[in-house]
Amino acid sequence: MKSITVGLGERSYPIYFGTGILAEIGNLCRSQGLGTTAAVVTNPTVGALYLARVTQALAGAGFSVVTVEIPDGEEFKNIETLKGIYDRLIDSGLDRGSFIVALGGGVVGDIAGYAAASYLRGIPFVQVPTTLLAQVDSSVGGKTGINHEKGKNLIGAFYQPRLVLVDVATLDTLQEREYISGLAEVAKYGIVLSKELFQFLVDHAQRLLARDKDCLIEIIERSCAIKASIVEKDEREAGLRAVLNYGHTIGHAVETLTGYTQFKHGEAVAIGMVLAAKCSQYMAYADGDDTEKITGLLRSLRLPVEPPRFSAAAYREALLRDKKVRDSGINFVFNRGIGGYQIARVEDIPLLLKICGIGD
Ligand code: NAD
Ligand code: GLY
């Protein structure tokens, strides 16, 4: 089993990577000195596949286990589901000697993490991410939370897990579009933070599409190491951490305009990254060759690269609705060549859209 550490002083934690390592969760929780009762939060889809293995491993290591099932879907990442988790924790008598295990994708990780951050003013939690997106992004870095009817992730807390266990074997059961959507986040790290990772993706695209385990461990470990290094420098997103939003500004607009139904998150981000690359080229942070390479990689990973057709006014409105927008301007993340980034404020949204070639 490989591991890296997210170095945050006394809140540092390990991330373990391997194939078929779910059964280690009990021993790893024990080695972290976690309390007596584990509350495993999962949904029916993931639970049917992996809950028994996780509960057996925890019980085998001497923990009492309570299971908390929440409905599957982004639409359930809300206050009602959170209340259901609290109810179950309270009814099961969970005290400060307990901890939460989030078993699932980003939805389970975000809501279970927020439950842990807030229950009894905070109990420890462990991330066992089972989607590629969760393994390379959402399980690391401590962003937890729920959606509000007025917007995504409007309620939450920075609250770091005590350990993350990444078992790449769980990706075998993931639906194809979910898997490919996760590859977009890996490409993001390559484009703005690691030329080497970018080249690795170019060289191993076919093996990655075949979910080759060695390649997967390589890219997930590299992605987590990159994310850890950013989080270590800027845990609460005062500045640098915003680089992780590369492609997301326009990607979110694409998701909003298409009602969150046409594109998976990573697919919308892929479109956003191609448009961000065009803007970077316009600003002379990168050249046409970089834009072609970025577009070529995303295409070879079977990600969409063409924005859906909406008017410029609709795109503008969707962009300005993003919660990271301040005073009608956008803090936009550009790529500097490949493997570098530039964060700059963009006030002229119509020009941005024109450069992207979107809208009328
Ligand atoms: P998700 O959690 O909805 O999972 C996608 C689907 O795959 C679900 O139906 C789930 O049940 C299923 N699934 C999960 N693991 C599976 C497996 N191994 N086999 C078969 N099916 C499986 O979606 P996601 O893409 O993992 O996460 C999206 C969420 O993550 C969003 O709510 C987003 O806001 C959040 N997010 C958070 C951060 C962060 O830093 N906290 C970062 C990025 C995204
Ligand atoms: N997913 C972006 C972040 O964690 O900051």
What architecture does CATH give domain 2-173?
Answer: 3-Layer(aba) Sandwich (3.40)
Q: How confident is the model at residue 324 (pLDDT cuts 50, 70, 90)?
A: low
Mean pLDDT over all residues of the chain?
Answer: 96
Q: What DSSP string runs through 222-256?
A: HHHHHHHHHHHH-TT-SSGGGGGGTTHHHHHHHHH
Q: Which of 24, 232, 235, 237 is catalytic?
A: 237
Is 237 a residue of the active site? yes
pLDDT digits (tens, 9 = 90+) for 215-238: 999 999 999 999 999 999 999 999
Is 143 a residue of the active site? yes
CB distance 252 to 263 below 8 Å = no
Nearest bound ligand to CA 128? 1
Residue boundaries of the structural domains of the chain: 2-173, 176-356
Is 248 a residue of the active site? yes
Please tell me the predicted confidence (pLDDT) of residue 320.
Answer: 83
Distance, in Å, from the CA atom of 79 to the CA atom of 120, rounded to the nearest integer, reads: 17
Which superfamily does CATH assign the domain made up of 176-356 to?
A: Dehydroquinate synthase-like - alpha domain (1.20.1090.10)
Is 252 a residue of the active site? yes
Distance, in Å, from the CA atom of 229 to the CA atom of 113, rounded to the nearest integer, reads: 21
**Which residues have C-beta atoms less than 6 Å from ligand 1?**
43, 45-46, 49, 72, 74, 77, 104-108, 110, 130-131, 133-134, 137-138, 141, 143, 152-153, 170, 173-174, 178, 265
Q: How confident is the model at residue 325 (pLDDT cuts 50, 70, 90)?
A: low
| Sequence-distant (≥ 6) Cβ neighbours of residue 13 within 8 angstroms | 5, 6, 32, 160, 161, 162, 163, 164
Which residues, listed in sequence order, are joined to residue 336 by a DSSP beta bridge? 340
Distance, in Å, from the CA atom of 241 to the CA atom of 232, rounded to the nearest integer, reads: 9
Q: Residue 60: what are its φ and ψ, rounded to 5°? A: -60, -25
Q: Is the CB of 141 under 6 A from ligand 2?
A: yes
Is 148 a residue of the active site? no
Kindly list the distances between the CA atom of residue 66 and the CA atoms of 87, 94, 101, in Å, as whole numbers in the listed order.
13, 9, 10
Please tell me the predicted confidence (pLDDT) of residue 329.
Answer: 81
Q: Other C-beta atoms within 10 Å of 165: how many?
A: 28
Q: Other C-beta atoms within 10 Å of 192: how many?
A: 28
pLDDT digits (tens, 9 = 90+) for 62-77: 999 999 999 999 999 9
Please tell me the predicted confidence (pLDDT) of residue 202.
Answer: 98
Q: Give nearest CA residue, ligand 1 atom 40.
A: 138
